[in-house]
Amino acid sequence: EPQYQRSPDALSRLFIRSAQGRLVPIDEVSRIARTVGPLSVNHYGQLPAATVSFNLQQGFSLGEAAQRVNDALRELRIPASVTVNFQGTVKE
């Protein structure tokens, strides 16, 4: 509801129902902490995703650029749980 989106302090006015059916202030079961986080999270195939774009430097082919990206990925030693997919023309 919009009234709870104006300020984090407004959340302290929320009540939730306990397992016994009693209404309790949300402050009794949670803590609000201000932290830095993403403004949004994109998804691809129901998994969190990030999009990285690049422009070709004059004199480089798309294949050369893709090879350099793949080389950099190998050097970074990205965990096996992270997948990388090319999209667009380079995918073809």
Is the domain of 10 the same as that of 45? no
Check whether residue 91 and residue 56 sit in a common domain: yes
pLDDT of residue 92: 58
Q: Consecutive 10-residue runs of the chain (92 residues): their mean pLDDT?
A: 79 90 93 88 91 88 92 92 87 66
pLDDT at 55: 87
Contacts of range 35-43, beta carbons closer than 8 Å, 24 or more positions apart: none
pLDDT for position 15: 92
pLDDT of amino acid 38: 87
Identify the pLDDT of residue 20.
94
Question: Is there a single domain that holds both residue 81 and residue 47?
Answer: yes
64 and 20 share one domain: no
Same domain, 76 and 47: yes
Residues 64 and 86 in one domain: yes
- Are 53 and 88 in the same domain? yes
- Tell me, yes or no, whether 45 and 85 share the same domain: yes
Same domain, 30 and 48: no
Number of folded domains in the chain?
2
Same domain, 30 and 49: no
What pairs with residue 23 in β-bridges? 17
Q: Around Cβ 26, how many Cβ atoms within 10 Å?
A: 14
